[in-house]
Structure 1
């Protein structure tokens, strides 16, 4: 059985042998937001099923492709769809692509998601820049043997989201007349939507949005020393006393409707960011 280092080397070598550049920025595109990858110039596309050691995305709205190329003058590698703990993958498998992107050369990770809003200042279609997170998944991708080559045994998560990148995202939003909020993203395991009592608990401990992804990838990115920017697309309101039934199809629908301003924001950030 391959250890993590061997798997990363095998996968990164497979991709590196088929491209002629080193990516600078990694993008993880959440439910309904994957079409941004279609705007990448001179794309080199890999289906997840063809990449050694990669899991396969099984969720509607996640295309299951790795797209490399150029976007807004930056060399990027984009996950068009991600993996989730609730699909039955370990968090080490969920975060494996971040390890591979780091091995290929990225310096920054821009991670997105579709989520529920618990803060009444949010609304369906709002874009929230993640300032901090709460890991309520009940697991951690760093549990187990630590390879010093990948990062320290006890990484600091007190500033997981890069303050300069947060400020840049805010400024880009203002420049393009896109309203952005800031807040705390709470990650749960899923795959069910939380009960009213559970939502009240998460809101009381500081969560502004709730979702089933992102935090494991951010933990691994910071462990690897990458700069991180997170953006949530609020697709429904998960306020305990006002909650209405929601389906995944509705989540994807709102994410699709929000897509134009999301794409404009992300492209503006890529255009202006310095590495």
Structure 2
């Protein structure tokens, strides 16, 4: 019989999936000894969008398998490297590939990099993903600025903050009504207009599902009724942990396929189409992200 520690919730039994502050600090300290770069911006690359890391100058890169406590990316289109460098003069760290619930990792493990980002000195996190479009006005190739999310797995208790809370990271009950920084959303809209992206730059609500199976028609119809504009299998858990740690968040979805809501449709979602759509819009996505990063100031303001 397992006896829970007296100082913990009586129903919580520590498991190897529960990563401590000391685990995260050990990872951050190891990285800080390997590079002189002190990033203030952290970037997460979604499926087919790993080219964002290639924009970094003076790169120092680490394979995930070589970083203490880091999981490994197992999905095609995710290179599995942590890249340090500068983007438009700003010191950055970029995840070239992320981790997902459907890979079998505990939710605390897939969000480990956000805590490491915080301990590296990151103030602003830029997150990208590939998503299916539910909004009837969206087209494949549209870029959606995420203004809010629905954490559907969280309704069943699958939240990365479940378990004992460490105040060194953040408060027990963090607010999520401001999860996505509104100033950065406005900045991105302004930058997008300057770049001539007005025809395909949108904003909307993102919903995360567990995956790896794509959504059924009935599920897509339900999500549409809930006000969801785009659906995917990532991002939200990272956002929750980043906000818990006090970092600002800006997030983008590249609409790589349109969700099927008609039983007479012959369309079928598949990962190859996702990667192809990512490649086709990658240059504009990279230009938008780099232009936004260029105007983020170290004091968390923007110009």
TM-score w.r.t. the length of structure 1 is 0.98
Q: Which runs of 4+ in 1 moved over 4 A?
A: none
Q: Distance in 2 between matches of 1:87 and 1:243?
A: 28
Deviation at 1:21, TM superposition (A): 2.8
Corresponding residue for 2:81? 65
**Among candidates 255, 261, 272, match of residue 240 of structure 1:** 261
Which residue does 1:16 correspond to in 2?
32
- Summarize the alignment of residues 1-40 of structure 1 with structure 2, pairs less than 5 Å apart: 3-40=19-56
Q: Superposed, which structure 2 residues align to 1:103-142 within 5 Å?
A: 103-137=119-153, 138=156, 139-142=158-161
Distance verdict in 2 for CA 1:5–1:183, change over 3 Å? same
Residues 119, 239 of structure 1: 8 Å contact kept = no
The answer as to whether partners of 2:42 and 2:126 remain within 8 angstroms in 1 is yes
In the alignment, is residue 267 of structure 1 matched against residue 290 of structure 2? yes
Distance 1:66 1:36 in 2: 12
SS at match of 1:240: coil
Encode CA deviations 1:175-220: one digit per residue, 9 max, x unaligned: 0001310000000000001111111111111110000000000000
**Structure 2 residue aligned with 1:208:** 229
- The answer (yes or no) to whether the contact 1:237–1:243 under 8 Å persists in 2 is no
Distance 2:275 2:20 in 1: 33
8 Å contact kept, 2:131–2:257: yes
Moved more, 196-205 or 56-65: 196-205
Please say if residues 259 and 269 of structure 2, whose CA atoms lie closer than 8 Å, have aligned partners that are also in contact.
Answer: no
Instruction: Say how many residue pairs are matched.
Output: 275
- Does structure 2 retain, via aligned residues, the 8 Å contact 1:120–1:239? no
User: Which residue in 1 is equivalent to 2:273?
Assistant: 250
Alpha-carbon distance in structure 2 between the residues aligned to 1:247 and 1:114 = 12
CA distance in structure 1 between the aligned counterparts of 2:42 and 2:266, rounded to whole angstroms: 34
Write the deviation string for residues 76-132 of structure 1: whole angstroms up to 9, x where unpaired: 000000000000011100100010011000000000000000001111000000000
Q: Which residue of 1 aligns with 2:10?
A: none
Contact kept in structure 1, 2:41 and 2:92, CA below 8 Å: yes
Return 5+ residue gaps in structure 1 as ranges.
none
CA drift at 1:61: 0.2
- Residue 70 of structure 1 and its aligned partner are, at CA, apart by 0.3
In the aligned structure 2, how far is the partner of 1:73 from the partner of 1:99? 24
Equivalents in 1 of 2:140, 2:284: separation in Å? 13
Aligned to 2:217: 196
Task: Give the Cα separation in 2 of the matches to 1:182 and 1:129.
Answer: 4
Contact 1:131 1:182 in 2 (8 A): yes
Asked if structure 2 preserves the Cα contact closer than 8 Å seen for 1:29 and 1:80, the reply is yes
Find the counterpart in structure 2 of residue 101 from structure 1: 117
CA contact (8 A) 1:49 1:55 kept: yes
**Structure 2 contact 45–96 (Cα < 8 Å) conserved:** yes
- Any conservation in 2 of the 1:168–1:273 contact (CA below 8 Å)? no
Give the secondary structure class of the aligned counterpart of 1:113.
strand
SS at match of 1:190: coil
User: Scaled by the length of structure 2, what TM-score is found?
Assistant: 0.89
Rg larger in structure? 2
Cα contact 1:197–1:240 (8 A) shared by 2: yes
